[in-house]
Amino acid sequence: MNTLISVAIAPFGTGDELAEHVAKVIKVIGDSGLPYQMNSMFTEIEGPWDDVMKTVKEATYVLAEQGIRTEVVLKADIRPGRTNTMTRKVDSVNRILNQQGN
């Protein structure tokens, strides 16, 4: 079942600068082979439910196994029969905006 998730995995209580820890998380996500897009607050990952959830678990544990308290915020969109929803959703909105001349 195709699943698109938006997830934020971040250390809790490690100071103001999180980039080093977040880079470790993103490395795990990238190594999964699943399509993903990172932005300033969340990362989207798309693929079969079990593969996506396994990736979230491994990305979370890369911090937690270092003894770091880790916060996970996750939102999932399960669309039976759909693929490539990560880009199709954005393309659809951009197409409408272009038609409106924006």
Q: Which fold has domain 2-99?
A: Alpha-Beta Plaits (3.30.70)
Query: pLDDT band for position 102 (50/70/90)?
Result: low
Q: At residue 13, does pLDDT exceed 80?
A: no
Q: Edge-to-edge strand order for the sheet containing 36-38?
A: 36-38, 43-48, 2-11, 70-78
Q: Which residues make Cβ contacts (< 8 Å) with residue 1, sequence separation at least 6?
A: 48, 49, 78, 80
Average model confidence (pLDDT) across the chain: 93
State pLDDT tens for residues 87-98: 988 999 999 999
* pLDDT for the residue numbered 89: 87
Phi and psi, residue 80, nearest 5°: -55, 135
Element (H, E) at 98: helix 85-99
